[in-house]
Structure 1
Amino acid sequence: MSRVVGEEIPEVVAATFDGADLAGKLGLGFVLVTVDPDGLVRPCMVSAGELLVLDSRTIRLGLWSGSSTSRNLAAGSPVLFCHVAAGAVYYLRGRARTLRADPAAGLDCFELRVERVETDSHEGLPVTSGITFTVVDPDPPAVLAMWERQLDVIRSAE
């Protein structure tokens, strides 16, 4: 059963999305959930190259332009972000506002204000890992270079 732990982004989440050591975060996947206009939930996989923690309550996102998740965020959908890692599961809830970004970047940018943080743990049944992926094509250096460009767009969005 989850329990509320506050309104601030936990340190493990902030460290994952601080924009540093992207090579060490390659392969880590996370789930961002919004709600479609018809009321159905829409999960979206995200990585360390698409999110950037600004402060204890603010996360910026850069998602592919025109995606269903982007449309939901622009329409004011509530957001549930799930961070799963060894030993802890965190659920961050809030709403996002649209930011202006360079249209040539192909990203829709948003700023999520965290309103509530929950954690989920079960005595004797610890979480051992989160979602992971592998990079096949393009190669890892190309993905890391893309992430750096995306994070620059996210940082400069207004």
Structure 2
Amino acid sequence: MSDSSLPQRPLEQTAFDEWPDAVRALFDGSSLASKTGFTASLLTVDANQHIRTSLLGAGELYAPDSRTLCIALWPQARAARAIAQSGRAALSFVLEEAFYQVQLLVAPLPPADGDDSGLVYMSCTIDSGETQSVRYARLTSGITFELEEGAEKVLDRWERQIEQLKRAAALGG
């Protein structure tokens, strides 16, 4: 049974291989005081195949061009060790009411002359990127959102989905 009042394609996805202008502006290294609330999740896979998340702020992310993101991590961070082993990471964040997830290829960068911060620097190239948004909800920050008009119908649909998930889990386990 379908709900004809919902859009036919509620999920909107856009692929990219270069930073959109709004992301470039966010990661341009300027006006950091105005970007202090921004947080991105850096996802890595460690040697035990566990997914790890490191939270990064605007002061740890810099996009020098349309396909690159440089990151600064503490050398003892699990993410730094995992990236050193795999050369890969994913970055996810919310910006302008859309969810971004970017697959990154990562290589070490040498520290700048005179740098005694102790940080490890890495250069990430976009392998693939994607934005996602839905018409029935507006992402407000992080993974928090508000339901828009028609919330009751969305909640009803979620109830049905959860029931289906419960049934599927009971059959599978």
Which TM-score band (shorter chain)? Answer: 0.7 to 0.9
Question: Secondary structure of 1:62's partner?
Answer: strand
Q: Which of these two proteins has the greater Rg computed from alpha carbons?
A: 2
2:90 alignment counterpart = 80
In structure 2, what residue type is equivalent to 1:117?
G
Q: What's the counterpart of residue 89 of structure 1?
A: 99
* C-alpha deviation, 1:85, in angstroms: 2.4
1:120 corresponds to 2:96: no
The 3-state SS of whatever aligns with 1:75 is helix
The percentage of aligned residue pairs carrying the same residue is 31
Amino acid in structure 1 at the alignment position of 2:111: A
CA displacement, residues 104-124 of structure 1 (integer Å, 9 cap, x when unaligned): 211011000001111111121
Moved more, 14-23 or 84-93: 84-93
TM-score normalised per structure 2: 0.70
Distance 1:118 1:28 in 2: 19
Structure 2 letter corresponding to 1:28 = F
- Correspondence 1:65 to 2:70: no
2: CA distance between counterparts of 1:31 and 1:2? 21
**What residue identity is the alignment partner of 2:54?**
C
Match of 1:153 in 2: none
User: Of 88, 95, 117, which aligns to 1:105?
Assistant: 117
Give runs of aligned pairs for residues 139-154 of structure 1, distance below 5 A.
none
Among residues 53, 58, 64, which one is paired with 1:48 in the alignment?
Answer: 58
8 A contact 1:80–1:94 mirrored in 2 = yes
The answer to whether structure 1 residue 21 and structure 2 residue 31 are counterparts is yes
TM-superposed CA distance for 1:77, in Å, is: 4.2
* TM-score (normalizing by structure 1): 0.76
Q: Deviations over 1:95-149 (max 9, x none)?
A: 1001111562110110000011111111211212237xxxxxxxxxxxxxxxxxx
Check 1:2–1:96 CA distance in 2 against 1; reply closer, same or farther (3 A cut): farther
Paired letter, 1:31: S
How many residues are matched?
Answer: 132
1:87: how far off?
1.2
CA distance in 2, matches of 1:11, 1:83: 15
Q: Bigger relative contact order, structure 1 or 2, given CA contacts below 8 A and separation 6+? A: 1
Q: Which residue of 2 aligns with 1:135?
A: none
Q: Which runs of 5+ in 1 are unaligned?
A: 132-158
What residue ranges of structure 2 are gaps of 5+ in the alignment?
Answer: 1-10, 144-173
